[in-house]
């Protein structure tokens, strides 16, 4: 009976989570007609409809809601069993799923994962890259063990500060603004040496950027919120040259002279040196952000999670 009841639980639950057969099919790497047929056959086996297909948006029937809650309980039981087995296996085997935005994955998580894998070669570490909105849903749905992000919902997620980043203005050296502000410009080496943190380092008046073209990250990225707050606070009238998905793209395009942008000192320190960019300290409460290690409240924190977060603290706290 259990086999029949939950035979296609992954398919059904993905449709529920995506609220669309088309999006669910993409996630599952199968065709939409095949997915629809499979779910319909499962409904026939169960003897009731899981999804109400008559409404404009896909929703659950009353019995479907009970069925989905049962799947979630089954997932939780499976995860609890995995956690307990992992804790007594001394991390010689098991899996750990971590997630972060692309920038965090490239410049922070990659180093932590490398060291964790060397210390625990029997562990299977999986990495998911996404934006902040999706990362939060991954935590709530128990799709990941630990998320590294700049924001979190305090009602449902536990967040531990890991790394404080400082935000700087990046200006192409061939831009006239860089020429006029050369006396307060900083280099990549200056950032790596922490000169931007010194109270003696003069900040830029962002009003000097009036009329400039900016490379702005798209909404949903923490740097979008920071950039718009800084420009508004400085009373800057600006043009959006490009809206981008990745901070690294903004860094590279700035080096090519395609616009001004805001960058974190973490990126400047760890990315390959770009000699075509000048950096400027910003004096503002908006010019910092904190990276958190996050996991669902009341979640069982297994040994793999504890060791991974401990290693992250060793490297970045």
* 70-84, 98-112, 184-198: the lowest-pLDDT one: 70-84
Q: How many domains would you assign to the chain? A: 3
* Residue 26 pLDDT > 50: yes
* Residue 7 pLDDT > 80: no
Q: Domain check: are 154 and 195 in the same one?
A: no
Q: What domain range is 241 assigned to?
A: 163-289
Mean pLDDT over 6-30 rounds to 89
Banded pLDDT at 3 (limits 50, 70, 90): low
Per-residue pLDDT, 89? 67
Question: What percentage of the chain reaches a pLDDT higher than 90?
Answer: 71
Domain termination site, one of 63, 83, 103: 83
Q: Which long-range contacts (CB under 8 A, 24 or more apart) does 118-125 make?
A: 119/307, 119/311, 120/91, 120/92, 120/304, 120/307, 122/91, 122/92, 122/93, 122/94, 123/91, 123/93, 123/94, 123/95, 123/96, 123/304, 124/94, 124/95, 124/96, 125/95, 125/96, 125/97, 125/98
Mean pLDDT over 6-22 rounds to 88
- pLDDT higher for 64 or 91? 64
Q: Domain check: are 281 and 312 in the same one?
A: no
pTM score: 0.74
Burial 107-134 (b: 16+ CB within 10 A, else e): bbbeebbeebeeebeebebeeeebbbee
Q: Domain check: are 134 and 170 in the same one?
A: no
Q: Domain check: are 155 and 171 in the same one?
A: no
Q: Domain check: are 206 and 267 in the same one?
A: yes
- Pinpoint the alpha helices (H) of the chain: 2-5, 9-18, 21-28, 32-46, 62-88, 102-104, 110-119, 132-140, 176-180, 188-192, 222-233, 247-255, 265-270, 303-316
Cα 110 from Cα 112, distance rounded (Å): 6
Mean pLDDT over 10-29 rounds to 90
* Unique residue bearing structure tokens 């630990």: 146
Mean pLDDT over 151-160 rounds to 93
The residue among 82, 137, 61 whose CA lies nearest residue 294 is: 137
Per-residue pLDDT, 56? 81
Question: What percentage of the chain reaches a pLDDT higher than 70?
Answer: 97
**3-class SS string, 265-316:** HHHHHHCCCCCCEEEEECCCCCCEEEEEEEEECCCCCCHHHHHHHHHHHHHH
The residue among 130, 92, 127 whose CA lies nearest residue 113 is: 127
- pLDDT higher for 80 or 149? 149
Residues contacting residue 164 through CB under 8 Å, at least 6 positions apart = 288, 289, 290, 291
* 154-158, 227-231, 252-256: the lowest-pLDDT one: 154-158
Q: Domain check: are 175 and 280 in the same one?
A: yes
Q: Domain check: are 232 and 300 in the same one?
A: no
Domain termination site, one of 83, 106, 130: 83
Mean of pLDDT over the chain: 92
Cα 273 from Cα 190, distance rounded (Å): 12
Looking at mean pLDDT, say which of 66-80, 106-120, 129-143 comes out highest.
106-120
Q: Domain check: are 40 and 185 in the same one?
A: no
Per-residue pLDDT, 132? 75
Using an 8 Å Cβ cutoff, are 261 and 224 in contact? no
Cα 295 from Cα 236, distance rounded (Å): 38
Domain termination site, one of 51, 83, 115: 83
Residue pLDDT, tens place only, 278-293: 999 999 999 999 999 9
Residue 125 sits in a domain whose CATH number is: 3.40.190.10
Residues contacting residue 167 through CB under 8 Å, at least 6 positions apart = 223, 226, 230, 262, 263, 264, 265, 282, 286, 287, 288, 289
Mean pLDDT over 9-31 rounds to 90
Banded pLDDT at 88 (limits 50, 70, 90): low
Residue 215 sits in a domain whose CATH number is: 3.40.190.290
Mean pLDDT over 187-209 rounds to 97
* Residue 104 pLDDT > 70: yes
Q: Domain check: are 158 and 298 in the same one?
A: yes
Per-residue pLDDT, 1? 46
Banded pLDDT at 317 (limits 50, 70, 90): confident
Cα 292 from Cα 135, distance rounded (Å): 12
Residue 44 sits in a domain whose CATH number is: 1.10.10.10
Q: Domain check: are 274 and 244 in the same one?
A: yes
Q: Domain check: are 43 and 138 in the same one?
A: no
Q: Domain check: are 63 and 173 in the same one?
A: no
How many beta carbons lie within 10 A of that of residue 138, not counting itself? 17
Cα 136 from Cα 139, distance rounded (Å): 5
Mean pLDDT over 132-139 rounds to 84
């Amino acid at each position: 009976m259990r086999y029949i009841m939950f035979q296609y639980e992954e398919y059904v639950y993905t449709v529920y989570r995506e609220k669309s057969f088309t999006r669910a099919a993409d996630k599952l790497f199968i065709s939409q007609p095949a997915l629809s047929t499979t779910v319909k056959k499962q409904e026939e086996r169960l003897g009731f409809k899981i999804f109400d297909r008559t409404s404009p948006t896909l929703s659950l029937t009353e019995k479907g809601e009970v069925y989905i809650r049962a799947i979630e309980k089954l997932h939780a039981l499976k995860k609890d069993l995995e956690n307990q087995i992992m804790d007594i296996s001394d991390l010689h085997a098991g899996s750990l799923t971590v997630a972060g935005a692309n920038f965090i994955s490239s410049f922070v998580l990659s180093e932590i994962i490398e060291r964790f894998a060397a210390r625990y070669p029997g562990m299977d570490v999986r990495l998911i890259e996404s934006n902040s909105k999706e990362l939060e849903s991954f935590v709530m749905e128990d799709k990941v063990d630990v998320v590294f992000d700049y924001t979190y919902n305090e009602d449902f997620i536990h967040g531990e500060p890991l790394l404080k980043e400082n935000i700087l203005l990046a200006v192409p050296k061939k831009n006239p603004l860089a020429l006029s502000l050369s006396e307060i410009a900083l280099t990549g080496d200056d950032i790596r040496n922490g000169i931007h943190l010194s109270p003696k380092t003069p900040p830029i008046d962002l009003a000097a950027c009036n009329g400039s073209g900016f490379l702005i990250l798209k909404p949903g990225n923490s740097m979008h919120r920071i950039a718009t707050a800084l420009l508004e606070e400085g009373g800057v009238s600006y043009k959006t040259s490009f809206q981008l998905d990745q901070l690294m793209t903004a860094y590279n395009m700035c080096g090519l002279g395609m616009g001004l942008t805001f960058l974190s000192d973490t990126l400047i320190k760890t990315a390959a040196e770009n000699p075509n960019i000048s950096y400027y300290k910003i004096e503002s409460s908006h010019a910092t952000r904190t990276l958190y290690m996050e996991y669902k409240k009341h979640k069982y924190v297994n040994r793999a999670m504890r060791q991974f977060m401990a290693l992250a603290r060793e490297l970045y706290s």
